[in-house]
Amino acid sequence: MTSIRRLRDFVVETTRIIDRDRDEVATLADILPRLDELVAHDDWLPDEYAAPDPQFYRQYLLHADPLERLSIVSFVWGPGQKTPVHDHRVWGLVGLLRGAERSIDYRRTADGKLTADAPRLLEQGSVVAVSPRIGDIHEISNARPDGVSISIHVYGGNIGAVRRATFDPATGVEKAFVSGYSNGATPNLWDRSHELGS
Q: With 0-12 CB in 10 A as exposed, 13-18 as middle and 19+ as buried, what is 68?
A: middle
Integer-rounded Cα Rg, in Å, for the chain is 17
138 annotated as a binding-site residue: yes
86 annotated as a binding-site residue: yes
Amino acid at 103: S
* Binding site members: 86, 88, 138
* Binding site members for Fe cation: 86, 88, 138
